[in-house]
Amino acid sequence: MPWQRPPAAGATRHLAPGSDPSVLPGDVLIADKLNNQLLIVDPHGRIRWRFPRPGDLARGETFKIPDDAFFTPDGKHIVATEEDDYVIRLIDIPQHRIVYQYGKPGVSGDGPNRVWNPDDAMMLPDGDLISADIKNQRLIMIGPGSHHLLRHWGDVNHGYHQPPRHYGAPNGMFPMGNGRFLVTEIRGDWVDAVDLHGHVFWSRHPPGMLYPSDTNQIAPDRYLTVDWSSPGQILIFNRAGKVLWRFRGEPGQPLNHPSLALPLPNGDILCNDDWNDRVIVVDPHTDKIVWQYGHYGVAGNRPGYLSNPDGVDLVPPYSLADRFWRANGG
């Protein structure tokens, strides 16, 4: 893969002062939303891969406002969700090409090949895609290469908390292993543990959250979520609703609409702090930011700058897909 080659001699490093590259196990995939691009950045802040480059898009193709991006289980593709452009894309990494899409850019809907603000699409080991479909009030599954839904959960006409029949603006469906998923509902501030057969194992309110986003499991009975608010927060809680850790930012630099946090192997937390135009790593033992790419509250499109980064993943073998599908024998 491109990022596995040695960086170019003299490649410029772009990190905030005080950043420690050793806290990251590998490179980071960033959905740089308002710059309309995906980046892979190494722990030293060097850009190792970018999409789209000039010439990457076919005639008539667009790539707008990607808000989430995750590696596929084989590590050869990226699933990118363009939430506000109503389309899910599959990108071939070495070829720099879009090889599949579900949805029509710029056109929302709930029929075949239509979504309405899809969020956090990711691929299962068998090639099926799962995604939250926020404004259609549902969770969806798409078969490989298909332009019809394979399955869905929720009702486009009823957006409220009553899983598995109804969901209130779900914005994430993250794997837990063992066939279970964590669903985050914006409306009502709920997190639900469910499976694909319609079983609901538990539902909880993340304590003290206004707008929970992208809840995922980081250990047995430990769940990580963020509050897409200003000021925002990162939270670890358990099924009983007990707060285990909360982070609102460092003095003078509160979080501003963070939308996703993921655990690192060393116990630190990787997070995209969207409206502060940065991606950070937080040490939960010291409540300090120990790594940062981007400039706090300063948007830009030059190397070292981001504009409303709305999604992150780690490069394999530390990706979300590796963490869940391979570790759990998925």
Find the domain containing 203 and state its range: 30-326
Whether residue 126 has pLDDT greater than 90: yes
Distance CA 166, CA 296 (A): 38
Order of strands, edge to edge, in the sheet holding 68-71?
Answer: 68-71, 77-82, 87-92, 97-102
- Ranges 113-117, 155-159, 219-223, 326-330: which has the least confidence: 326-330
> Would you state the pLDDT for residue 59?
95
> Considering the domain boundaries, does residue 89 fall inside one?
yes
Residue 79: give its domain's CATH number.
2.120.10.30
> Considering the domain boundaries, does residue 95 fall inside one?
yes
DSSP-derived 3-state class of residue 171: strand
> Considering the domain boundaries, does residue 24 fall inside one?
no
Whether residue 330 has pLDDT greater than 50: no
In this prediction, residue 207 has a pLDDT band, given cuts at 50, 70 and 90, of very high
> Considering the domain boundaries, does residue 283 fall inside one?
yes
> Would you state the pLDDT for residue 2?
64
Number of folded domains in the chain? Answer: 1
> Would you state the pLDDT for residue 325?
67
> Would you state the pLDDT for residue 12?
80
Whether residue 322 has pLDDT greater than 80: yes
Model confidence pLDDT, tens digit, residues 218-232: 999 999 999 999 999
Whether residue 327 has pLDDT greater than 70: no
Distance CA 124, CA 18 (A): 38
In this prediction, residue 271 has a pLDDT band, given cuts at 50, 70 and 90, of very high
> Considering the domain boundaries, does residue 1 fall inside one?
no
- The values of phi and psi at residue 218, to 5°, are -115, -15
> Considering the domain boundaries, does residue 135 fall inside one?
yes
> Considering the domain boundaries, does residue 145 fall inside one?
yes
Whether residue 326 has pLDDT greater than 80: no
Tokens describing residue 282: 């937080």
Distance CA 126, CA 144 (A): 8
Q: Write the CB contacts of 83 (distance below 8 Å, at least 6 apart in sequence).
A: 65, 67, 68, 117, 118, 119, 134
In this prediction, residue 91 has a pLDDT band, given cuts at 50, 70 and 90, of very high
Indicate the burial class of 58 (C-beta count within 10 angstroms; 0-12, 13-18, 19 or more).
Answer: exposed
In this prediction, residue 323 has a pLDDT band, given cuts at 50, 70 and 90, of confident
Question: In this structure, are residues 115 and 87 in contact, taking their beta carbons and an 8 Å threshold?
Answer: yes
Distance CA 270, CA 312 (A): 8
- The values of phi and psi at residue 273, to 5°, are -100, 85
Burial profile 27-43: b = 16 or more Cβ within 10 angstroms, e = fewer: bbbbbbbbbbbbbbbbb
Average pLDDT value for residue range 284-299: 98
> Would you state the pLDDT for residue 14?
92
> Considering the domain boundaries, does residue 25 fall inside one?
no
